[in-house]
Amino acid sequence: MTRPTPLSGFPEWLPGQRMIEQHVVDRLRRTFELYGFAPLQTRAVEPLDQLLRKGETSKEVYVLRRLQADAEDPSDSGLGLHFDLTVPFARYVLENAGKLQFPFRRYQIQPCWRGERPQEGRYREFLQADIDVVDRGTLSGHYEVELPLVIADALRGLPLPPIRMHVNNRKLSQGFFRGLGIPDPMAAIRAIDRLDKVGPVGVAAQLVASGATDEQAKAALRLGEICTTDLSFVDAVRAQGVSDPLLDEGLEELAAVVSAAAEHAPGLVLADLRIARGLDYYTGTVYETVLLGHESVGSICAGGRYDNLATAGTEVFPGVGLSLGVSRLLGPLFGVDALRSSRPVPTCVLVALADEPARPAAMRTAAALRGRGIPTEVAPVPAKYGRQIRYAERRGIPYVWFPGEPDTVKDIRSGVQLQADAAGWTPPAADRWPTISGPPEPGQAPEGDSR
Amino acid sequence: MTRPTPLSGFPEWLPGQRMIEQHVVDRLRRTFELYGFAPLQTRAVEPLDQLLRKGETSKEVYVLRRLQADAEDPSDSGLGLHFDLTVPFARYVLENAGKLQFPFRRYQIQPCWRGERPQEGRYREFLQADIDVVDRGTLSGHYEVELPLVIADALRGLPLPPIRMHVNNRKLSQGFFRGLGIPDPMAAIRAIDRLDKVGPVGVAAQLVASGATDEQAKAALRLGEICTTDLSFVDAVRAQGVSDPLLDEGLEELAAVVSAAAEHAPGLVLADLRIARGLDYYTGTVYETVLLGHESVGSICAGGRYDNLATAGTEVFPGVGLSLGVSRLLGPLFGVDALRSSRPVPTCVLVALADEPARPAAMRTAAALRGRGIPTEVAPVPAKYGRQIRYAERRGIPYVWFPGEPDTVKDIRSGVQLQADAAGWTPPAADRWPTISGPPEPGQAPEGDSR
């Protein structure tokens, strides 16, 4: 067989990079669980009619078919791979409502698939980490305040660039446009959301095309330009002289999010009144997040409140959720070598091997170290000790264990070699497992060199 | 939308079951890392020609197509979902050989997909946990000894029924049949592998059909009946009076596996000379594993040595691997309620809420507890304390925190309520996170009742 080549849009990491991804996922998971979110996984496939409820994604869906499809068994026909975790979650909630406790807090960390044209940070297969809270009937507004704090808490303590979350509220925008007398408030919301892409002139033209007067278009643009780190957005909106009960609701809800974030995670949240999110199912707070210094990647964490996504008959399950794009976050950082693992293997200790008959004793030494939580492997072949040390060096394994009378263990970075007993010796905590760090200091050798 | 129904073959767990699955996966992962296996994930898709190298699985493969396929961009046409983790791993090794250190030890825990007819323990989407060691050029035989010990170590400490691993060696069987003068030793290996399914008469007929004499068929059956927990299989084979250098090699290799297992994991391994594994790429040790008391589920952990799966030009990367079927293991146990989580949410403490204005203070209390690693949520709505206690009870949350002067915390199982400070109070270790246990004692209420 010829040497295979990568598939565009389906990134795969090297083991050291996978360790970083795992470290990030572990941190997310632990934080989500500290906040009481229960773990959940849904199957990778959904019926196409579920996936196509939102028309705009239809061309991105991957459809499945069994290679030798069986006309007698149509049970797996008409399935596609999920393109996000929100649609499967809404379906799961409806399907299992009788077995769940509401409000239901869950997190879900799984790959998704979209047939998009691949570009930096946008993949056809990508890992997402979602948190959602769904209730039966009505959903209390404080969850819209809590969710950004959970994400901020999760990312704190990871060696990542800082994030900024741009937040708006659909009711605020819709109420403002309605109070302004714009004939199609939803069209106006979508137009303002494109301010970054098409500029104020383009947005104004779009607003006018959807029936707004020039004056209304100007007022709408003034709203879209409001972006504040504190509660001053409230006065800035009030100064426009528009009044509407939905606007009042939206202002109050957004103010709650901004002030709670200012207390618990200063600098995290901006009230940015142009944000809308393309998806029509959002009905309240909406979120988008940029990684500072990597704005070109786009939003790495987005979501919002959805009141009508999960409904069955007269039952409704309103929810609010945030999706963190793990691949979208890490891919660009891997691309510029901004994250590193202290070694590309878990191993902390290599037990050297004088000759093959010594292997059972070496295995017992390794078992004793592992039994006390120290990642250990036995040398693959007996060889000169210098060669075994080089084996460890190439993998970044910090310690080599030499069986003897007594045993000794050598820190191959410092060269210090000490007597040791497998029943008692413990490495420094920082060496036991690989550690993850941010960009190298200038002048430090890149990871590849040390392998 | 109407209430959705489950999809046959695509199981989904409830949050409490997902916690058990995660607990099992965490234990596997930690053990694999203690043995120095590096983490790896491969994409879910492979080119069809890769997937179809083994003809027998062709009808089980799920093929992908973008719903609105783009003739100008054929980059994602001809892809299918992987049906195991061995084929993608062999491809990954070839693709990244220049960036990996050999011998390369990796583990990989991911879903796989097969369009099989669903039945107990056999799913169309299922989670697999694989360990493999691959080397460049030649692979030392001691890895065939090590791998079963890693799996046994990983499963030890989980509340699962005991396992038994049936092990054979392809060289042993092939050498025996060759020494016996059977014209097609590979056909004989496959025939003997079906002894459980078709019985001795059927196997004998198959052997004769593939060119063996009656005498040879009888001798082959006698080999297939050898099954020992110790090294006595060696004498039992020798007693057949067949000699062949490949047989000698196979006997020696299998003896090494059996004796190491007897030392490190007594009772784990049986030498069972009928085992062959259907896949033609195995060339040495082969493994199959049953869960005692659940033999009807079939093999929950299988694999073997493959010398020729990953080759590019003159380069060859022989390997040995074991795949643990996590879904196949857990699905049947979930079916009989044989495993349980102490609660279906991670939450250890619910902070009660007297009224909505008290929420910011409750959030600070919760943050202080979380900051010390105690999973905490704030009550969803202010309500009478009795109602908030019932909220906790239904979820199995053991502690309710009452803000006051001073704060108090109540163990709602015992009713004991004590003064507490969020900066210092710590729950007993057994309560902090949910715990996983085996089948309930007779008379104990099933999990569902307490929700």
Predicted pLDDT of residue A451: 32
Tell how far CA A53 is from the center of its chain.
Answer: 24
The tally of CA atoms less than 13 A away on the side-chain side of residue A240 is 27
Give the closest-approach CA distance of A403 to chain B in angstroms.
18
- Residue B442: pLDDT band (50, 70, 90) is low
Predicted pLDDT of residue B177: 96
Q: How far apart are CA B119 and CA B293, in angstroms?
A: 18
Q: Report chain B residues whose CB lies below 8 A from the CB of A446.
A: none
Predicted pLDDT of residue A90: 94
Beta-ladder partners of A291: A163
Least confident of A335-339, B33-37, B117-121: B117-121
Q: Report chain B residues whose CB lies below 8 A from the CB of A91.
A: 4
- Per-residue pLDDT of A393-438, as tens digits, reads 999 999 999 999 999 999 999 999 999 999 999 999 999 999 999 8
Chain B touched by A44 (CB under 8 Å): yes
- Per-residue pLDDT of B257-276, as tens digits, reads 999 899 888 999 999 999 98
Contacts (Cβ under 8 Å, ≥6 apart) of A217: A203, A204, A207, A208
Q: How far apart are CA B224 and CA B246, in angstroms?
A: 17
Q: Report chain A residues whose CB lies below 8 A from the CB of B380.
A: 103, 135, 140
Give the closest-approach CA distance of A39 to chain B in angstroms.
6
Q: Cβ contact (<8 Å) for B62 and A65?
A: yes
Predicted pLDDT of residue A416: 97
Predicted pLDDT of residue A196: 85
CA-CA-CA-CA dihedral for A94, A97, A99, A105, to nearest 10: 90
Nearest to B451 among A61, A101, A260 (CB): A101
Please name the residues between 133 and 172 in chain A that touch chain B, using a CB distance below 8 Å. 135, 140, 142, 146, 153
Chain A touched by B75 (CB under 8 Å): yes
Strands A125-134 and A269-272 turn out to be unpaired
Is the pLDDT reported for residue A447 higher than 50? no
pTM of the model: 0.94
Chain A touched by B34 (CB under 8 Å): yes
Is the pLDDT reported for residue A446 higher than 60? no
Chain B touched by A255 (CB under 8 Å): no
Q: Cβ contact (<8 Å) for B345 and A135?
A: no
- A2, A3, A29: best mutation site toward chain B, by most B Cβ within 10 Å? A3
Predicted pLDDT of residue B309: 84
Q: Which helix (H) or strand (E) holds A21?
A: helix A15-34
Q: Cβ contact (<8 Å) for A15 and B39?
A: yes
Report percent pLDDT > 70 for chain B: 95
Is the pLDDT reported for residue B252 higher than 90? yes
Nearest to A36 among B105, B367, B377 (CB): B377
Predicted pLDDT of residue A49: 87
Is the pLDDT reported for residue B56 higher than 80? no
User: Higher pLDDT residue, B425 or A1?
Assistant: B425
SS3 letters across chain B = CCCCCCCCCCCCCCHHHHHHHHHHHHHHHHHHHHCCCEECCCCCEEEHHHHCCCHHHHHHCEEEEECCCCCCCHHHCCEEECCCCHHHHHHHHHHHHHHCCCCEEEEEEEEEECCCCCECCECCEEEEEEEEEECCCCCCCHHHHHHHHHHHHHHCCCCCCCEEEEEEEHHHHHHHHHHHCCCCHHHHHHHHHCHHHHHHHHHHHHHHHCCCCHHHHHHHHHHHCCEECCCHHHHHHHCCCCCCHHHHHHHHHHHHHHHHHHHHCCCCEEEECCCCCCCCCCCCEEEEEEECCCHHHCCCEEEEEECCCCEECCEECCEEEEEEEHHHHHHHHHHCCCCEECCCCCCCEEECCCCHHHHHHHHHHHHHHHHCCCCEEECCCCCCHHHHHHHHHHHCCCEEEECCCCCEEEECCCCCEEECCCCCCCCCHHHHCCCEECCCCCCCCCHHHHC
CA-CA-CA-CA dihedral for A34, A37, A39, A43, to nearest 10: -150
Predicted pLDDT of residue B447: 43
Average pLDDT over residues B177-193: 92
Predicted pLDDT of residue A442: 56
Average pLDDT over residues B79-91: 95
The tally of CA atoms less than 13 A away on the side-chain side of residue B253 is 25
- Per-residue pLDDT of A179-234, as tens digits, reads 999 999 989 998 998 888 899 999 999 999 999 999 999 999 999 999 999 999 99
Is the pLDDT reported for residue B448 higher than 80? no
Q: Cβ contact (<8 Å) for B39 and A62?
A: no
Tell how far CA B137 is from the center of its chain.
Answer: 29
Is the pLDDT reported for residue A243 higher than 70? yes
Average pLDDT over residues B353-359: 94
User: Cβ distance A307 to A139 under 8 Å?
Assistant: yes
